[in-house]
Structure 1
Amino acid sequence: MDESMTYQLLRLVHAMDGATNATIQDVLAELGITHALADALWQLDPDGPAPTMRRMAAALRCDPSTVTFLADRLEQLGYVTRVPAPHDRRAKALHLTAPGREARRRLVQAATTRTPIAGLTPTEQLRLHHLLTKAMTSSPE
């Protein structure tokens, strides 16, 4: 694949991200969160273990101090609590509260139904999923 096609694909990925973000702006406003807070909320899997602040920093690809700021704000909104991590009581884990679970559910529902990807057929979505998974699991040449 030549660079110009790679560049075009990257532009489309960025445009899709921007379009999705624009279409969920009303939900973010209702929840009282920014895109950065939405990204953090998105990372908190209600069915998984509560991630540590360090794990959140890695998932968000940011400095731990940024996660502290995000966690402070999510805690002020009542969406998370900080609890001692089960494997290391010195570390803090972010635990979704009931309002946090509901906020995350609304965020995910809005993003997944309003994204341009939602306009693809199930077969097209499956094909795109396969290609993106392949791209994310292979190393660049």
Structure 2
Amino acid sequence: MTKSPEPQSRAVAERQLCGLVDGLAQRIAEHVRERAATLGLTASQATALREMSGSMTMRELAERMNCEPSNATFVVDRLEKQGLVERHPHPTDRRAKLLVLTGEGTALRTRLLDLLHVDSPVACLAPEEQRVLRDLLERAVTGA
């Protein structure tokens, strides 16, 4: 019969795991900041462009960016002034607007995605390892 780990050793293991996840998050954030700066964007603008895989509402974008809708609105306002994003009427909800990348926004997003891929903090992992890590992190985040 295997004995379960002592509470102290479980706490140490959890602390180490949390430290590693936090360290990875910091490396990813720094990577995004550096790549965004080369394109004249802030990290928040780069995150918004990265997450805009198609037209979506401000609420959907805020959820993807993991921020409040008011923060996403501020970022989108700046992207709109730069001619990268447009707001269009929502086809079924007259209170909402759809965010749509312009041609220039789509081109910049493509450049950004290419830059984010280069020397990514997870590039040292094989595709299968990245999939396993993604699945494990998803389970930890959702609790499922």
Q: Give yes or no for TM over 0.5.
A: yes
What count of residue pairs does the alignment treat as equivalent? 136
Matched, 1:41 2:49: yes
Matched, 1:15 2:20: no
Matched, 1:6 2:14: yes
Confirm or deny: 8 A CA contact 2:32 2:46 kept in the other structure: no
CA pair 123-77 structure 1, distance change in 2 beyond 3 A: same
Distance in 2, matches of 1:62 and 1:20, equals 17
- How far did residue 26 of structure 1 move? 4.3
Match of 1:51 in 2: 56
2:118 equivalent among 85, 106, 113:
113
Matched, 1:67 2:72: yes
Any unmatched runs of 5+ in structure 2? none
Q: Which sits farther off after the overlay, 67-76 or 105-114?
A: 105-114
Matched, 1:78 2:86: no
Any unmatched runs of 5+ in structure 1? none
- How far did residue 70 of structure 1 move? 0.8
Q: TM-score, normalised by structure 2?
A: 0.78
Specify the code of the residue in structure 2 equivalent to 1:123.
E
- How far did residue 138 of structure 1 move? 2.4
Distance in 2, matches of 1:115 and 1:9, equals 20
CA pair 10-69 structure 1, distance change in 2 beyond 3 A: same
CA pair 112-10 structure 1, distance change in 2 beyond 3 A: farther
* Identity, % of aligned positions: 38
Q: TM-score, normalised by structure 1?
A: 0.80
- How far did residue 15 of structure 1 move? 1.8
Specify the code of the residue in structure 2 equivalent to 1:93.
L
Q: Which sits farther off after the overlay, 90-99 or 27-36?
A: 27-36
Matched, 1:136 2:136: no
TM-align CA RMSD = 2.2
Match of 2:109 in 1: 104
- How far did residue 82 of structure 1 move? 0.7
